[in-house]
Amino acid sequence: MTRKATGMPRDLHQGEVAERVALLNSRYKHHGATAVLEHALKDADLGRVALVSSFGAESVVLLHLVSVVAPETPVLFVDTRMLFPETLEYQRQVAEMLHLCDIRTIRASQPRVSFEDPDGTLHQFSTDACCNVRKVEPLERALSTFDGWITGRKRYQGTSRAAVEFFEAEGDYRIKVNPLAHWGKEDIQDYMINNKLPRHPLVAKGYPSIGCAPCTSPVKPGEDERAGRWRGTAKTECGIHFINGKAVRGPVTTENAA
């Protein structure tokens, strides 16, 4: 029985994840997104892997690739209960169109939200705390039975993602896979056009990066694509992504990028 069939994550020792990540990046540095994705989904040595998708502005590209390579892949969708209605409708549309077999909607427990954010205003006072209770904690629970997860992060998306590799170590316990790390904006657009994939309706309204409704605003021409996320603050990430094994909820600094 393979590791994937057991339903349990692998038991990894300290340093093992980093070593495997270094080997994987060396092995696949000249490969394309499909080869990296196929390896992540079909190599039993990598363990159990899920795709985490926001069903945001560019998510449909990676979702389509997964639907072609392995449509039975678990897809984790975090519903913070603060998403745009357009995102929820788009999620339903894309899931049906691509015939994805195992989409799991992840939410925070209502008692936890009621305790931490009883009147729904936590995001006005602490965006980190709001993201933590509504997104980070629920996703961590959902990922606890997986050895790795696939993301749609790309280098061109901003300074905090400029050094993203195909494979990343998430502490000493999981591997993160970024098949589209080296794709450019034009690659994304060409793929969507060539495969006739539907666009998130908010993209046409000036939202190139889409998160929760209270914390996402349109982006002006010339601005960074993620400038509309938590506008007016130093925050650039929700906290689910790690750099060198550490959660980064703000801009990458010399200390956390080292």
Q: Could you say which of 130, 131, 215, 238 is catalytic? A: 238
From the list 88, 127, 142, 80, the residue with the least C-alpha distance to 108 is 80
Q: Are 133 and 113 in contact (CB under 8 A)?
A: yes
167 forms beta bridges with: 177
d(CA 201, CA 207): 9
H-type helices in the chain, by residue range? Answer: 3-6, 16-28, 33-42, 59-69, 85-98, 110-116, 122-125, 127-131, 137-143, 185-194, 254-257
175 forms beta bridges with: 148, 169
* Burial category of 23 from C-beta neighbours within 10 Å (exposed 0-12, middle 13-18, buried 19 and up): exposed
Q: Are 93 and 69 in contact (CB under 8 A)?
A: no
- 212 flagged as catalytic: no
Q: Are 82 and 214 in contact (CB under 8 A)?
A: yes
Q: What's the Cα-to-Cα distance from 188 to each of 60, 122, 170, 196, rounded to whole Å?
A: 10, 34, 26, 12
Q: Which residues are catalytic?
A: 238
